[in-house]
Amino acid sequence: MTVDHAPPSAPPDISPLPDVESLTPARAPGRVPSVPRWLRRAVGPVLLLVLWQSCSATGVLPADVLASPGTIARAAGELVGDGTLPTAMGVSLRRVAAGLLLGGVAGIALALVSGLSRLGEDLVDAPVQMLRTVPWVGLIPLFIIWLGIGEAPKVALIALGVAFHLYLNVYAGIRGVDARLVEAGESLGLGRWGLVRHVVLPGALPGAMTGLRYSLATAWLALVFGESINADAGIGFLMNQAREFFRTDVIVVCLVVYAFLGLLADALVRTLERLLLQWRPTFTGQ
Amino acid sequence: MATDLHRAVTVQGLTRSFDGRPVVDGLDLTLRAGQFTALLGHSGCGKSTLLRILAGLDREISGTVLVPRRRAVAFQAPRLMPWKKVWRNVLLGLPGKPGRAVAEKALDEVGLGHRSGAWPKTLSGGEAQRASLARALVRDPDLLLLDEPFGALDALTRLKAQRLVAELWQRRGCTVLLVTHDVDEALLLADRALVMRDGVIAYDTAVDLDRPRSPGDPALAGLRTRLLAELGVTEGEFAESATA
Ligand SMILES: Nc1ncnc2c1ncn2[C@@H]1O[C@H](COP(=O)(O)OP(=O)(O)O)[C@@H](O)[C@H]1O
Ligand SMILES: [Mg+2]
Residue type, B90: V
Residue A220 lies inside a defined structural domain of this protein? yes
Domain that holds residue A103: 83-276
* Residue B39 CB–ligand 1 contact under 6 Å: no
Nearest CA to A92 out of A197, A251, A238 is that of A238
SS3 A30: coil
Q: What are phi and psi of A125, to 5 degrees?
A: -65, -45
- In this prediction the ipTM stands at 0.88
Confidence of residue B143 (pLDDT cuts 50, 70, 90): very high
Q: Number of structural domains, chain A? A: 1
* pLDDT mean over A97-118: 94
* Percentage of residues of chain A with pLDDT beyond 70: 93
Residue B78 Cα, gap to closest chain A Cα (Å)? 9
- What is the 8-class DSSP label of residue A12? P
Q: Beta strands B71-74 and B143-147: pairing type?
A: parallel
Q: How far A184 CA lies from chain B's nearest CA (Å)?
A: 7
Distance CA(B60)–CA(B219), nearest Å, equals 42
Cβ–Cβ gap B81/A180 under 8 Å: no
pLDDT reported for residue A99: 95
A170-181 burial code (b ≥16 CB/10 A, e <16): bbbbbbebeeeb
Query: Rounded to 5 degrees, what are φ and ψ at B74?
Result: -120, 125
CA of A77 vs chain B CAs: smallest distance (Å): 47
CATH number at residue A216: 1.10.3720.10
pLDDT value, residue A9: 73
Asked if residue A11 is part of any domain, the answer here is no
Q: How many CA atoms lie within 13 A of B63 on its CB side?
A: 23
Contact status of A284 with chain B (Cβ, < 8 Å): no
Domain boundaries, chain B: 1-70+164-244
pLDDT above 90: percentage of residues in chain B: 68
**How far is residue A27 from each of residues A32, A114, B130, B174, measured CA to CA in Å?**
11, 51, 37, 54
Mean pLDDT of chain A: 87
Helices (H), chain A: 37-57, 69-81, 84-116, 118-120, 126-132, 140-147, 151-175, 179-187, 192-195, 201-227, 235-244, 248-276
Split at pLDDT 50, 70, 90, the class of A148 is confident
Nearest CA among B132, B11, B116 for reference residue B72: B132
Q: What are A34-81's pLDDT values in tens digits?
A: 788 888 888 888 999 899 999 988 988 888 788 888 888 998 999 899
Q: Decide if domain B1-70+164-244 falls under CATH 3.60.130.10.
A: no
Report pLDDT for B244: 38
Q: Which of B17, B23, B25, B27 to mutate to test the pocket of ligand 1 (most atoms within 8 A of CB)?
A: B23
CA distance B206 to B189: 12
Quick one: which ligand is closest to B147's CA? 2
Q: Which residues fall within 8 angstroms of residue B108, CB to CB, at 6 or more apart? A: none
- Is residue A126 in some structural domain? yes
pLDDT for A6 beyond 80: no
Q: Is the pLDDT of residue A284 over 70?
A: no
Q: Which member of B55, B82, B120 has the closest CB to residue A187?
A: B55
Verify whether the Cβ–Cβ distance A202 to B81 is below 8 Å.
yes
Q: How many CB atoms lie within 10 A of CB B188?
A: 25
Distance CA B230, CA B193 (A): 11
DSSP β-bridge partners for residue B30: B10
What number is the average pLDDT over the span B90-110? 93
Is A124 a residue whose pLDDT tops 70? Answer: yes
Alpha-carbon distance B156 to B154, whole Å?
6
Q: How far is CA A66 from CA A57, A85, A267, B158, in A?
A: 12, 20, 29, 71
Ligand nearest the Cα of residue B49 is 1
**Does a structural domain hold residue A205?**
yes
Question: pLDDT by residue (tens digit) across B52-85?
Answer: 999 999 999 999 999 999 999 999 999 999 999 9
A122 domain residue, yes or no: yes
The helix or strand, by DSSP H or E, that contains position B186, with its residue range, turns out to be helix B183-189
**Residue A18 clears pLDDT 70, i.e. is over it:** yes
Query: Considering just the CA atoms, what is the radius of gyration of chain A in Å?
Result: 28
pTM: 0.81
